[in-house]
Structure 1
């Protein structure tokens, strides 16, 4: 399993796609956070990163599909998947290795954003006047959100040999999982069960964790969500095998 994990991670890092994708993510987040007047923290006047954490999920909808789209699609397109499954490794181990490698890449993209936390802390009055508990909770929420989106991306990559199709399907599923249930709950026919419908969406649980309080129900939701999509990936790849 470790060999597959290392191969997946380094094959992505050895290509320009990794650096371009992560670079675009950091550039866009920086522009939104510091330069664009409507979202700039300097215009907001408060030493907090709530605006940043509300923007990143939308950037994740494109970053993570770009990372995961090649996981199985490229293997099947180049014919190396058949060689991989003949190795003494189970299908679950292959899926887990690719999932963890993609998740590590998401963490690589997030790590430079810690500079924003440091900058806000220095700009605060008095210096260091930042709600660190909320920031830590929000970063934990981003990690869990990234794990959920990564499971969707792995699933989408298993559906097709075409990386572009995998990207589009993954981005669409991520958008629906994050926002779809909120919009669906506004339908007149569902207003009586609005709270229940919203609870199925990722956004509700992400906002809850971002407040700085870790609820076991939110943690269980993200673990279950990721497990369901990885299980679906196992069904698809098991059938193709």
Structure 2
């Protein structure tokens, strides 16, 4: 697993992928937090990172599949995947190694945004007038949300050798789980199915963690989602090995 992880991380930083992803995310989020009218902190007049945490998932829904689309699709297209599957390498090591490498790249992309917290902490009146518990919970939610979208993207990449198709499917899955389930719950109105879809939406889980109280039920659900799509990817790789 470690060998796959190192190889994947190395491929990111030996090409422009990692740098482009980080630059696009940080520029987009920087404009939202500090420049764009009605969303920037300076115009809002309140020491808060709400605009960042509200809009970051939408950026990641498109950015993460752009990272993961090549994970298995590119290796399948070039024949590298078939070569890997002939080696004494466990399927779990291959899939989990790629998952962790892609997730690590997303985490490295999010890390510089911590500067926003310290900047707003200093700008508060009085200094430190910011809900730190909410910020901490929101970061936990954003990291776990990213992990789920990465697992969806890896699975999408395993289904075919076309990176564009993998990207579209990854975006579609993330969008459905983040927005679609909540919209479906609203259409259903009341009842057990409405409650189920509402609770299962990634948006609901993310918002719950953003309240500043890290509930184990939300954490377990999000890790379970990662496990589900990793299992589906393992199953897909197993069918390719046969």
Helix, strand or coil: the match of 1:196?
helix
Q: Is 2:143 the counterpart of 1:128? A: no
- 1:231: how far off? 0.8
TM-score by length of 2: 0.96
Distance 1:69 1:97 in 2: 15
Residue 211 of structure 2 aligns with which residue?
211
Helix, strand or coil: the match of 1:129?
coil
Unaligned runs of 5+ in 2: none
Residue 102 of structure 2 aligns with which residue?
102
- 1:186: how far off? 1.7
Contact 1:22 1:63 in 2 (8 A): no
Distance 2:207 2:222 in 1: 13
Distance 1:216 1:136 in 2: 15
Q: Is 2:241 the counterpart of 1:225? A: no
- 1:48: how far off? 1.1
Distance 1:141 1:217 in 2: 12
- 1:86: how far off? 2.1
Residue 149 of structure 1 aligns with which residue?
149
Residue 20 of structure 2 aligns with which residue?
20
Q: Is 2:10 the counterpart of 1:10? A: yes
Residue 161 of structure 1 aligns with which residue?
161
Helix, strand or coil: the match of 1:97?
helix
- 1:162: how far off? 1.0
Contact 2:32 2:51 in 1 (8 A): no
Aligned alpha-carbon RMSD (Å): 1.1
Distance 1:118 1:164 in 2: 38
Distance 2:190 2:134 in 1: 31
Kindly tell me the number of residue pairs found equivalent between the two proteins: 240
Once superposed, which parts of structure 1, at least 4 consecutive aligned residues long, lie more than 6 Å away?
Answer: none
Unaligned runs of 5+ in 1: none
Helix, strand or coil: the match of 2:107?
helix
